[in-house]
């Protein structure tokens, strides 16, 4: 059975530099890294010491407060370095890779017939638990919870985002096995949303509630889909899993090994070889792209939610793309005049960019202004297709008013849902950061 979700509000940003639909094998990196900051709110406790040998799938560290959640090595090799930042916070766990991978054997398991407890413990002991994120709060899931539903979005609407239809094309069997396993994690439904591109390969997937999603970004955001399909109420838990990660979980059950395969789309106007690269989680960015000058921003992820990284750093755990765009650290004379510099896109109509609906823009990282008080109203609602008042919610988060945040729907949102608000808002406030801090406050106060 399938249902249609049509999203009207939002913004389909057309940017230059889409990746060509061609899959290339990336060279094997010398080093790989798992970055604990990718797992928000997880306090890592190292299991291994520097210099230890690891197999792919062997535990590197675990979460201090939910010990069942393990983080395992994507490759086999030697634990080279545990990089720490201020207050000894671990920022990177670097593994020097062997030329070929040998895997820790978890043993094959038929997910369809296995007992739910076995499936769950297999997923979490192998490190696949890290793929499961929990709503509310957008943090790594706690295996002790019983989610009311599980959501998987194979819809990519973010600008220049990797196309899951293309990525999953050859992984359908593993994907199906992954679904079989995931189904055991909830007594509720597993919702899979697809768009025109991913529908072709995922149409036959069994055991899921299939949803066709149409509309501009953030229609592909799982938070928006949850809001439309089965909204989250106070006290409830929903788990979400990335589309490619489902096939990694499937592979775990099919082979008994943790194959941390990752397909990365190299995109953006500054990228030369814009293709899809087959690599492994935690790969070094320098293996996919040449060294970039200062004038280019390297983003692990997409332009709205990704992380800024530099040459020789590692790709984020959850990311499916690398985006290269020019830095915008230039002054622009009279840049504030309306109807000037029309090659810079604006969702407002004060730039004539709206007269060029077919144009692909080449944005820089310039802020195009400075932070100001919140003045303009109505612009945030235009890009948040939820029954939520974004500006009021942001103000409640700024004020740390927990009751108001609850009333206005803080449980239903994740920072990524506010990424377009970062983009469009006239006052240049950092909406994603404000929501993240608001969610963190809820975690400490409500839990």
Partner 1 sequence: MEWIRQRLDKFKEPFQKGKKLEKYAPAINALDTFLYTPNHTTQKGAHIRDAVDLKRTMITVVLALIPALIFGMWNGGYQYLSQIQTEVGFWEAIGHGALKIVPMIVVSYGVGLGLEFLFAIIRGHEVNEGYLVTGLLIPMIMPIDIPLWMVALSVVFAVVIGKEAFGGTGMNILNPALMARAFAFFAYPTYMSGNKVWVSEATGVDAVSGETILGTLAAGENVDYSVMNMFSGVIPGSIAETSTICILAGALLLILTKVGSWRIILSGFLGAAVMALIFNALPSMGIEGNSLTNFPWYQHLIVGGLAFGVVFMATDPVSGAQTVTGKWIYGFLIGLFAVMIRIFNPAYPEGIMLAILLMNVFAPVIDHYVIQANVKRRKKRLSGATQIKTAV
Say how many C-beta atoms besides its own lie within 10 A of residue 10's C-beta. 20
Nearest distance in Å: CB 445, partner 1: 19
Options 38-46, 83-91, 215-223, 305-313: segment touching partner 1 (CB under 8 A): 305-313
Q: Give the whole-angstrom CA distance, residue 443 versus residue 447.
A: 4
For tokens 């944005």, the residue is 363
Q: Give the whole-angstrom CA distance, residue 280 versus residue 361.
A: 31
Between residues 198 and 346, which has the closer beta carbon with respect to partner 1? 346
Could you give phi then psi for residue 322, rounded to 5 degrees?
A: -120, 130
- Out of 196, 234, 356, 399, which residue is the one contacting partner 1 (CB under 8 A)? 234
For tokens 């090595």, the residue is 73
For partner 1, how many residues bind (rule: CB under 8 A)? 74
Please, which of residues 397-426 interact with partner 1 by CB under 8 A?
407-409, 419-420, 422-426
Strands 261-267 and 321-326: parallel
Q: Which are the contacts of 228, defined by CB distance < 8 A and separation ≥ 6?
A: 5, 7
- The two tokens of residue 225 are 């889909």
Nearest distance in Å: CB 386, partner 1: 10
Interface mask (CB under 8 A) for partner 1, residues 88-127, using x and -? ----------------------------------------
Torsion sign, CA atoms 138, 142, 148, 154 = positive
Reference 398, options 368, 367, 371, 370; nearest CA is 371
Interface mask (CB under 8 A) for partner 1, residues 250-289, using x and -? ----------------------------------------
Q: Give the whole-angstrom CA distance, residue 229 versus residue 211.
A: 9
Ramachandran quadrant class, 235 (left: phi over 0; alpha: psi -120 to 50; beta: rest) = left
Nearest distance in Å: CB 208, partner 1: 21
Between residues 273 and 329, which has the closer beta carbon with respect to partner 1? 329
Between residues 153 and 347, which has the closer beta carbon with respect to partner 1? 347
Please, which of residues 322-381 interact with partner 1 by CB under 8 A?
323, 325, 327-338, 341, 344-351, 353, 363-379, 381
Q: What is the DSSP letter of 151?
A: E
- Out of 43, 46, 114, 388, which residue is the one contacting partner 1 (CB under 8 A)? 388
CA of residue 248 relative to chain centroid, distance: 16
Please, which of residues 422-441 interact with partner 1 by CB under 8 A?
422-428, 430-433
Between residues 106 and 389, which has the closer beta carbon with respect to partner 1? 389
Nearest distance in Å: CB 103, partner 1: 36
**Side-by-side strand order, sheet with 31-34:** 31-34, 90-97, 77-84, 53-54
Does 299 sit near partner 1 (CB under 8 A)? Answer: yes
Between residues 79 and 271, which has the closer beta carbon with respect to partner 1? 271
Options 92-100, 103-111, 130-138, 230-238: segment touching partner 1 (CB under 8 A): 230-238
377 exposed, middle or buried (CB, 10 Å; 0-12, 13-18, 19+)? exposed
Q: What is the DSSP letter of 372?
A: -
Nearest distance in Å: CB 360, partner 1: 13
Between residues 287 and 412, which has the closer beta carbon with respect to partner 1? 412
Strands 276-280 and 23-25: parallel
Nearest distance in Å: CB 207, partner 1: 21
Q: How far is CA 55 from CA 17, 104, 106, 204, 306, in A?
A: 37, 6, 12, 35, 29
Between residues 104 and 217, which has the closer beta carbon with respect to partner 1? 217
Q: What is the DSSP letter of 170?
A: T
Nearest distance in Å: CB 39, partner 1: 18
Say how many C-beta atoms besides its own lie within 10 A of residue 3's C-beta. 13
Nearest distance in Å: CB 218, partner 1: 12
Please, which of residues 20-39 interact with partner 1 by CB under 8 A?
none
- Out of 37, 143, 216, 231, which residue is the one contacting partner 1 (CB under 8 A)? 231
Which residues are bridge partners to 32 per DSSP?
95
Between residues 21 and 308, which has the closer beta carbon with respect to partner 1? 308
Please, which of residues 58-87 interact with partner 1 by CB under 8 A?
none
């Amino acid at each position: 059975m399938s249902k249609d979700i049509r999203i009207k509000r939002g913004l389909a940003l057309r940017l230059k530099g889409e990746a060509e639909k061609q899959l290339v094998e990336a060279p094997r990196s010398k080093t790989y890294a798992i970055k604990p900051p990718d797992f928000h709110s997880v306090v890592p406790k190292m299991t291994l010491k520097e210099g230890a040998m690891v197999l792919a799938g062997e535990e590197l560290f675990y979460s201090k407060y939910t010990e069942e959640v393990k983080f395992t090595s994507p490759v086999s090799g030697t634990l080279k370095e545990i990089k720490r930042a201020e207050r000894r916070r671990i920022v990177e766990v670097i593994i020097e890779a062997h030329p070929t991978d040998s895997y820790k054997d978890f043993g094959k398991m038929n997910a369809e017939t296995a007992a739910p407890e076995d499936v769950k413990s297999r997923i979490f002991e192998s490190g696949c638990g890290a793929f499961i994120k929990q709503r509310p709060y957008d943090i790594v899931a706690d295996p002790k919870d019983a989610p009311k539903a599980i959501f998987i979005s194979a819809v990519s609407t973010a600008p220049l985002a990797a196309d899951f239809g293309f990525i999953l094309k050859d992984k359908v069997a593993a994907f199906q096995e992954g679904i079989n396993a995931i189904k055991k994690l909830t007594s509720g439904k597993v919702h899979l949303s697809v768009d025109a591109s991913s529908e072709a390969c995922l149409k036959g997937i069994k055991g899921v509630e299939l949803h066709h999603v149409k509309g501009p970004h953030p229609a592909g955001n799982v938070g928006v889909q949850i809001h439309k399909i089965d909204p989250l109420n106070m006290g409830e838990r929903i788990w979400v899993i990335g589309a490619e990660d489902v096939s990694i979980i499937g592979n775990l059950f099919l082979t008994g090994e943790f194959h941390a395969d990752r397909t990365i789309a190299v995109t953006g106007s500054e990228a030369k070889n814009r293709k899809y690269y087959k690599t492994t989680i935690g790969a070094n960015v320098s293996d996919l792209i040449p060294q970039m000058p200062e004038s280019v921003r390297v983003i692990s992820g997409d332009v709205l939610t990704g992380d800024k990284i530099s040459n020789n750093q590692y790709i984020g755990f959850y990311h499916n793309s690398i985006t290269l765009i020019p830095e915008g650290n230039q002054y622009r004379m009279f840049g504030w005049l309306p109807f000037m510099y029309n090659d810079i896109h604006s969702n407002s109509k004060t730039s004539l960019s709206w007269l060029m609906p077919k144009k692909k823009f080449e944005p820089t990282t310039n802020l195009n202004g400075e932070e100001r008080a919140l003045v303009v109203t109505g612009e945030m609602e235009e890009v948040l297709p939820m029954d939520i008042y974004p500006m009021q919610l942001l103000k409640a988060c700024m004020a740390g008013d927990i009751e108001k945040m609850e009333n206005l729907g803080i449980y239903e949102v994740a920072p990524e849902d506010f990424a377009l608000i970062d983009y469009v808002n006239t006052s240049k406030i950092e909406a994603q950061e404000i929501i993240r801090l608001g969610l963190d406050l809820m975690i400490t106060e409500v839990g």
